[in-house]
Structures are given as C-alpha cells and as structure tokens.
Amino acid sequence: MADQVKLTKAQRFQFDAHGFVLLENVLTEEEVQTCRDALYRIKDDPEVEAKGVYRRSQDCLTLMGNLVAYDPALLNYATHPKLVPLVEEVVGGSIRLEESEAIINHRNPEDTDEELSTRRTHPTGFHRGTTPTWGCYQEKDRFHCVFVKTLAYLTDVGPDDGGTSFIPGSHRMTWAKEEMIEAATDDPALIHQVEAPAGSVLLFPESLIHSTTKIKSDRERVILVSGYTPPMLREWPGNEVDPAFVETLPEEIRPLVSGSESWRWKRNYQ
C-alpha cells in the first residue's frame, strides 16, 4: 500500500465510529465528466449486453454493472490511485475488484410533494452485504471489513437530490438488521443522508446499513460504485471481467482487476 496515500486520523476516526467518510475533491472535473459521459452511453447503448455489461431499468432508476471493460474512464475510477490505498487500509491488506456498478436515477413522477414532505429523508430499501459478526474484524484498535465500497458522485447532490442514506454506527452493531431499520424508521434523526459536490467519493464498509434515497428535486443523480474484497474472495456474480481484457491491462493493475493474487494475501494493518 502506498504510504503517502492514507486516511487522516480524523477521517479514520469517523470511519471507525460512524461507518463512512466523505472524501471531497477526489475526482477532477474532467474525470467526473468522462465517467458520466460513459455511463450515459451505456444507458443508451442497444448492444450493451454483447459488450459484457448488464443493465436493469425500472421506474425511475437504471442500474448498470461490470463496467471496467466498457470505457477507460470507468477502469481508471476502479483502479484510482487516490482510492485504492484507502480501501486497502480499511480492508487490511491487498484487494481485488469485486464489482463495478453505477446508478442513474431521477424523481419518481408518482411521488407527490405532499408524500415527500412527510419525512426529511425517504430511503427506498435499507440493506448491507456483510455483518459485524462475519466479514469484519479488529486489528491494532482499528475496524476492518473485507467488503468495502467507494461511491463517486458524478452530479452535485443537495438535500433534495437523493443522496445515499445510512444508519450511522450500524456497521459495528450486532442488533438484527430489521431492528435497526425499525428504530431508524421510528426516528429519522438516526438516518444520515449524504450531501456532496460532484467529484466527492464515499468510502464505507458493506456492514453499514445503507440505501438509495428518493429524489425530491427535478435533478438527475449519477453515481459510480466500485466494490473491493481481499483477492481470495470471488467477484459479485455478473462482474466477471473477461480474461482477454485483463491481458491488455498494465501489469501493475491486473491483480486488482482479476483477483489473481488469490490466497497470497498481503496483509497490511493500519
């Protein structure tokens, strides 16, 4: 792991205590634009499945995945030198790309202003991919998780623009997920909804309960997400990167994209 790229003490404390940290000004305007352009091309590409990408559209949301071979901008994000070392820090060692997904969504026309005004935030489906009792561990007084994501905002996200919602602290709590969701539903103060300028990136473990959030404004939201695990774990189904594409990559990023390090895990606790 590159020693010169790491979380500050304050960022690490926030990550350990709350389960996420927002990193502003990570992506340049050019990186934001090229990634966003690539995702809109995928959204409109009639031959996208033949290119190895999956796309699912419903109501006001389009989900796209297995993106890194489609456009160099999307590969560059998944292997970004400002982000990979931070993920290694919280995973606790070397990593592989587990998934690459994106969402483009807008306000559901069936949602009325009256309905949306009843709560400060409207999570659409809280979930998580691992729990504090499996997939997470403590080492040298630091929290680690073997499934971590970076979520890039490619559009500005204000209070009405559907920023990702979390239940802070849930990444470490052994309460049943349903109990925590019920508590947060009863008291919305327990929910944190992200606001961020384009180019910001969220770093969080999959043990943190999180959700897409309903959009109240007329703005479209575009996010790009990469998931990472230690190399001995498998990629998310549907995110198997074509070996022929992997062979075209620079040697230094092939293990990250392919998971070829397998059980030779280079552990590095911070």
Q: What is the pLDDT of residue 263?
A: 76
Q: What is the pLDDT of residue 89?
A: 96
pTM (two decimals): 0.94
Per-residue pLDDT band for 5 (boundaries 50, 70, 90) equals: confident
Across the range 18-39, mean pLDDT stands at 97
Q: Which two tokens stand for residue 185?
A: 């539903």
Residue 102, pLDDT > 50, answer yes
Residue 259, pLDDT > 70, answer yes
Q: What is the pLDDT of residue 198?
A: 98
- Write down the mean pLDDT value for the chain: 94
Residue 104, pLDDT > 60, answer yes
Residue 270, pLDDT > 60, answer no
Q: What are φ and ψ of residue 111, in 5° steps?
A: -85, 120
What is the C-alpha to C-alpha distance for residues 103 and 57, in angstroms, rounded to an integer? 10
What is the C-alpha to C-alpha distance for residues 238 and 53, in angstroms, rounded to an integer? 8
- As its CATH architecture, domain 11-258 has Sandwich (2.60)
CB–CB of 143/21 below 8 Å?
no
How many Cβ atoms are within 10 Å of 262's Cβ, its own excluded?
13
pLDDT tens by residue, 206-249: 999 999 999 999 999 999 999 999 999 999 999 999 999 999 99
What is the C-alpha to C-alpha distance for residues 97 and 67, in angstroms, rounded to an integer? 11
| Residue 121 DSSP SS3 | coil
pLDDT tens by residue, 126-174: 999 999 999 999 998 999 999 999 999 999 999 999 999 999 999 999 9
Q: How many helices (H) and strands (E) does the chain have?
A: 8, 12
pLDDT tens by residue, 51-67: 999 999 988 999 999 99
Q: What is the pLDDT of residue 128?
A: 96
Task: Express as a percent the part of the chain with pLDDT over 90.
Answer: 92
The candidate with the shortest Cα–Cα distance to 136, out of 106, 184, 179, 170, is 170
What is the C-alpha to C-alpha distance for residues 151 and 47, in angstroms, rounded to an integer? 26
With the C-alpha atoms ordered 208, 212, 217, 219, is the resulting torsion angle positive or negative? Answer: positive
Per-residue pLDDT band for 269 (boundaries 50, 70, 90) equals: low
pLDDT tens by residue, 55-101: 999 889 999 999 999 999 999 999 999 999 999 999 999 999 999 99
Q: Taking the domains of the chain in order of start, what are their residue ranges?
A: 11-258
Per the rule left: phi > 0, alpha: psi between -120 and 50, beta: everything else, 6 is beta
Report in angstroms the alpha-carbon separations of 186 from 119, 182, 183, 189, 234: 11, 6, 5, 9, 37
Residue 196, pLDDT > 70, answer yes
For residue 99, count CB atoms less than 10 angstroms from its CB and return exposed for 0-12, middle for 13-18, buried for 19 or more. buried
Per-residue pLDDT band for 4 (boundaries 50, 70, 90) equals: low
What is the C-alpha to C-alpha distance for residues 79 and 75, in angstroms, rounded to an integer? 6
The candidate with the shortest Cα–Cα distance to 62, out of 101, 107, 103, 123, is 103
Strands (E), the chain: 21-23, 54-58, 61-65, 96-105, 136-139, 142-145, 148-153, 165-166, 192-193, 201-205, 210-211, 221-229
